[in-house]
């Protein structure tokens, strides 16, 4: 089954995608990760995206949609869209792409987490500069401070996880992404999952939904 996993910044989309990849053999398409890879590779796409990401703003729809189309055109199967779509215009463009490519989405799973929890998750998140593994200074610390358990790479704070940028990201979520709940309710694909629980409990509910 192909899935959309959506929710506010810090809702746990990346964390749940990682489990679905390992345990259900799914493929993650994370627009945030694709942009971060482009920034690391110093590509033109990366340069365009960085200007928006560093300020906590959404990257323009035309750039994001083109990037996702390229990935889907490679024939990826059993995928999780993580962080896309993020606006109603992106959701409409996705429908068109899926029709064109004879693909379908089974469910649009919304991870529901209260705002005050999101703030704590985002300010406390740390990521490996090398392999992208995600940690949290309290709920999922590295064994050795600043060193990735997976690959030994340097563990850092994302630029957009600084307190002054998080506010803009959360506002962008409320204004542009929250309306997707109604979009997918109308499409009969919407399912909400309480994301404010132990990671394993959140995963178990998602697994039930997709089984
Ligand atoms: P992106 O990378 O997609 O960021 P985001 O949506 O803001 O989501 P996050 O990665 O911050 O959070 P997450 O939900 O994956 O949470 P995580 O699992 O890491 O996008 C970054 C930027 O790129 C955007 O701001 C925008 O500029 C641009 N962009 C990307 N896509 C775009 C699009 N479609 N259109 C336009 N622009 C786009 O968890 C967070 C923390 O919480 C971690 O520390 C984790 O360990 C912890 N945690 C997770 N689950 C739990 C739990 N159950 N209990 C306790 N702690 C938990």
Residue 15: give its domain's CATH number.
3.40.50.300
User: Does residue 158 lie within any of the structural domains?
Assistant: no
CA 56 to CA 138: how far, in whole Å?
24
User: Does residue 132 lie within any of the structural domains?
Assistant: no
Domain ranges, residue 79:
3-114+163-210
Convert 8-22 into a string of H (helix), E (strand) and C (coil): CCCCCHHHHHHHHHH
Which pLDDT score, from 0 to 100, does residue 210 have?
Answer: 93
Rounded to the nearest angstrom, the distance between the alpha carbon of 125 and the centre of ligand 1 is 10
Which pLDDT score, from 0 to 100, does residue 130 have?
Answer: 92
User: Does residue 138 lie within any of the structural domains?
Assistant: no
Ligand 1: nearest atom to the Cα of 35 = 23
User: Does residue 25 lie within any of the structural domains?
Assistant: yes
Ligand 1: nearest atom to the Cα of 32 = 2
Which pLDDT score, from 0 to 100, does residue 11 have?
Answer: 98
Which tokens sit at 72?
């889907």
State ipTM.
0.97
Give how many domains the chain has, as a whole number: 1
CA 44 to CA 126: how far, in whole Å?
26
To test the pocket of ligand 1, the residue of 8, 11, 12, 80 to mutate (highest count of ligand atoms within 8 Å of its CB) is: 12
Rounded to the nearest angstrom, the distance between the alpha carbon of 76 and the centre of ligand 1 is 22
- Over the stretch 186-201, which tens digit does the pLDDT of each residue have? 999 999 999 999 999 9
The HSE-up count of residue 52 (CA atoms within 13 Å, CB side) is 15
Task: Say if strands 3-7 and 79-82 run parallel, antiparallel, or are unpaired.
Answer: parallel
User: Does residue 102 lie within any of the structural domains?
Assistant: yes
**Active site (annotated) includes residue 126:** no
């Amino acid at each position: 089954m192909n899935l959309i996993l959506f929710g506010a910044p810090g809702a746990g989309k990346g964390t749940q995608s990682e489990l679905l990849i390992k345990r259900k053999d799914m493929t993650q398409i994370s627009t945030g990760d694709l942009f971060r890879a482009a920034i690391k590779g110093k590509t033109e796409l990366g340069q365009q995206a960085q200007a928006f990401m560093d300020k906590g703003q959404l990257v323009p729809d035309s750039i994001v949609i083109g990037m996702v189309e390229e990935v889907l055109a490679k024939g990826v199967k059993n995928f999780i869209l993580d962080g896309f779509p993020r606006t109603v215009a992106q959701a409409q463009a996705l429908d068109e792409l899926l029709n064109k490519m004879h693909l379908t989405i089974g469910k649009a799973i919304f991870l529901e987490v209260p705002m005050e929890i999101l703030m704590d998750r985002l300010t406390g998140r740390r990521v490996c500069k090398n392999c992208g593994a995600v940690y949290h200074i309290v709920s999922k610390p590295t064994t050795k401070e600043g060193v990735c358990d997976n690959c030994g790479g340097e563990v850092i704070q994302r630029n957009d996880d600084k307190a002054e940028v998080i506010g803009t990201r959360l506002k962008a979520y409320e204004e542009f992404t929250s309306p997707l709940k109604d979009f997918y309710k109308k499409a009969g694909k919407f399912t909400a999952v309480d994301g404010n629980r132990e990671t394993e409990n959140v995963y178990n509910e998602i697994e039930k939904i997709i089984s």
